[in-house]
Amino acid sequence: MAVTGLLLVGFLYAHMIGNLKIFFGAETFDHYAHWLRTIGTPLLPEAWYLWIQRAVLTVAVLGHIVAATILARRARQARPVKYAHRPKVQGSYAARTMRWGGVIILLFVIYHILDLTTGTLNPNGVAGEAYANVAADFAPSRWYVTLFYTLSIVAVGFHLRHGLWSAVRTFGQQSPRGELYARATALVLSLVLVVGYLSVPFAVLVGLVD
């Protein structure tokens, strides 16, 4: 769970930092998207890096889901008899929404690929015009797309907050101070990611990127 999760967090951070290049203008952003497809060419085939990344991410996501299913089954087997009295509040909001949060993120990624990778659902949808595709996507008239992205990215933030904290728990029980650091680190890393991602659609919405 932790190994696949940390791999996905690595991608999320790299992708978020790459997205911030949009603030340097269309030429820089489109050049970056082009570079992703041409790293190492002509020695290596075009888009080799993207295809390796796609394969690694797919395996990581599948591994993550399989590990989550095994863990949930193990937890159920450890307590086959239902609790007679189940207290309403157990754990944080982030902890209680891991399963559905994960499903929302998966649905978002499918939409997102059809939107900004294949361009199928994008109003511009031209390969090589990454900047124009993003600008068209979050135009004020398409506020519902921005809303959907916002909800999905907030779901990513909650998922990550609990996931990162759980990953630290993998190394064992923490001292009260260690526990506090783990919680604070998970919160800060998730917040930075959410703000970084959301800055792009909101910059388009207010006309900073157009």
Instruction: Provide the mask over 32-51, with x wherever binding to ligand HEM is found by CB under 6 A and - wherever it is not.
Output: -x--x-------------x-
Tokens coding 31: 């050049």
Do the beta carbons of residue 146 and residue 202 sit within 8 Å?
yes
Question: Is residue 60 involved in binding ligand HEM (CB under 6 A)?
Answer: no
Question: Is residue 201 involved in binding ligand HEM (CB under 6 A)?
Answer: yes
175 to each of 171, 181, 182, how far by Cα in Å?
12, 10, 10
Q: Which 8-state DSSP code applies to residue 82?
A: P
CA-to-CA distance for 89 and 14, rounded, in angstroms? 35
* Residue (94 or 105) nearer to ligand HEM, CB: 105
Tokens coding 76: 């159920």
Nearest to residue 153, comparing CAs of 120, 209, 201?
A: 201
Question: Is residue 124 involved in binding ligand HEM (CB under 6 A)?
Answer: no
Question: Is residue 105 involved in binding ligand HEM (CB under 6 A)?
Answer: yes
Do the beta carbons of residue 89 and residue 101 sit within 8 Å?
no
Phi and psi, residue 136, nearest 5°: -70, -35
**Cβ 168 to ligand HEM, closest distance in Å?**
21
Residue of 132, 155, 166, 197 interacting with ligand HEM (CB under 6 A): 197
Question: Is residue 153 involved in binding ligand HEM (CB under 6 A)?
Answer: yes
Question: Is residue 31 involved in binding ligand HEM (CB under 6 A)?
Answer: no
CA-to-CA distance for 81 and 129, rounded, in angstroms? 56
Question: Is residue 54 involved in binding ligand HEM (CB under 6 A)?
Answer: yes
Question: Is residue 17 involved in binding ligand HEM (CB under 6 A)?
Answer: no
Question: Is residue 15 involved in binding ligand HEM (CB under 6 A)?
Answer: yes
* Residue (31 or 179) nearer to ligand HEM, CB: 31
CA-to-CA distance for 37 and 82, rounded, in angstroms? 53
Question: Is residue 182 involved in binding ligand HEM (CB under 6 A)?
Answer: no
Cα–chain-centroid distance for residue 55? Answer: 16
Question: Is residue 113 involved in binding ligand HEM (CB under 6 A)?
Answer: yes
Interface with ligand HEM by CB under 6 A: which residues?
A: 15, 19, 33, 36, 50, 53-54, 57, 105, 109, 112-113, 116-117, 130, 134, 149, 153, 156, 197, 200-201
